[in-house]
A and B are shown apart, each in its own frame.
Chain A
Amino acid sequence: MAINWFKYSAPTTFYGLAGKLIPWFALSAAILLAIGLYIGFAVAPADAQQGEFYRIIFIHVPSSILSMFLYLVMAGYAALGLIFNTRLSAMMASAIAPTGALFAFISLWTGALWGKPMWGAWWVWDARLTSELILLFLYLGFIALHASIDDPRRADRASALLAIVGSVNVPIIYFSVKWWNTLHQGSTIKFTGTSMHVAMQQAMFIMLAACWLYAIAIVLARVRSIILERERNTKWVTELPETKQ
């Protein structure tokens, strides 16, 4: 059976679909988080060089990946909204920004926690760290710019431009460890293989999946509130059972 995806690009239909999907994503995220933490702390062995401190990667790496991917997804939605003037795209971009900012913050915070015992410093002006900090500022800039303009459609357009221009920072973050001599280590997992212990890989990928599912659930929940706010004068919103109680 073919699914008509365009049907769900309208806030009217997407609102209900998101409501049905949220519990599944949230429950899956909680289960995977528990499994990932168990494997990461009880099954995966200590690292030969870093000892126990390496276990920070099970939250640091997924947060860093999510902070970059969510920015690209946000910029993609913002671009769609700007080009096709679709209402839901701009709402999705607004809903993604706070979660992306929090993942960027967690990435920087956990990185600093790892840096202190490994490098002897909480922070260095390394290319990878600095570009990730710029990513956090771009998220905050997007949120602040959107909030500073009263007309939502104008706010969508202005912040969309910032999101699109700022997306140039994402490849800079990713390739910074290759382009420059950085203190931050390069990628451990490559397409050609990895030297990581299998339990470490499992924990990291399960935590990555948990973070993805959490991000999807929270963004869907946030976008439902945004839809209600922005469409409050429409007939379909006034007829929703939850607004009548």
Chain B
Amino acid sequence: MSGLDLWMRENPLAYIWLGSYAVALLIFAVETAMVIHKRKITLQQMRLMREAETEAGDDK
């Protein structure tokens, strides 16, 4: 038996939590952060486009 095998059998709850639940919750957190970031970037791009259009209109 390897060290990991022994450890997981001695600490099953730590193995479950660290291996699966912590990973799953981390994935959810990263996905949420990415979606929030994407919205911020999209809104920022739209504001920049609006400003560029306004400036182009002023130049005319």
Contact = CB atoms under 8 A, between A and B. Distances in A.
A222 B38 contact: yes
Given A56-B20, A113-B16, A238-B50, A98 B31 contact: yes
B35 A221 contact: yes
A232 B46 contact: yes
A225 B46 contact: no
Interface residues of B, number: 27
Contacts, number: 78
How would you classify the secondary structure of chain B's contact residues: helix, strand, loop or mixed? Answer: helix
Interface residues of A, number: 36
Given A225-B39, A242-B43, A218 B31 contact: yes
Q: Which one of B5, B20, B21, B45 has the greatest number of beta carbons of chain A within 10 Å? A: B20
Contact of A55 (B16, B23, B31, B47): B16
Contacts of B32: 218
Contact of B8 (A105, A117, A242): A117
A243 B23 contact: no
How would you classify the secondary structure of chain A's contact residues: helix, strand, loop or mixed? Answer: helix
Given A37-B21, A109-B23, A229-B42, 16 more contacts: A51-B12, A52-B12, A52-B13, A59-B20, A59-B21, A60-B20, A98-B31, A106-B23, A109-B24, A116-B5, A116-B8, A117-B5, A214-B28, A224-B39, A232-B49, A244-B47
22 contacts: A53-B12, A53-B16, A55-B16, A98-B31, A99-B31, A102-B27, A102-B31, A106-B24, A106-B27, A110-B19, A110-B24, A113-B15, A113-B16, A114-B20, A117-B9, A214-B28, A218-B35, A221-B39, A222-B38, A225-B42, A243-B46, A244-B50
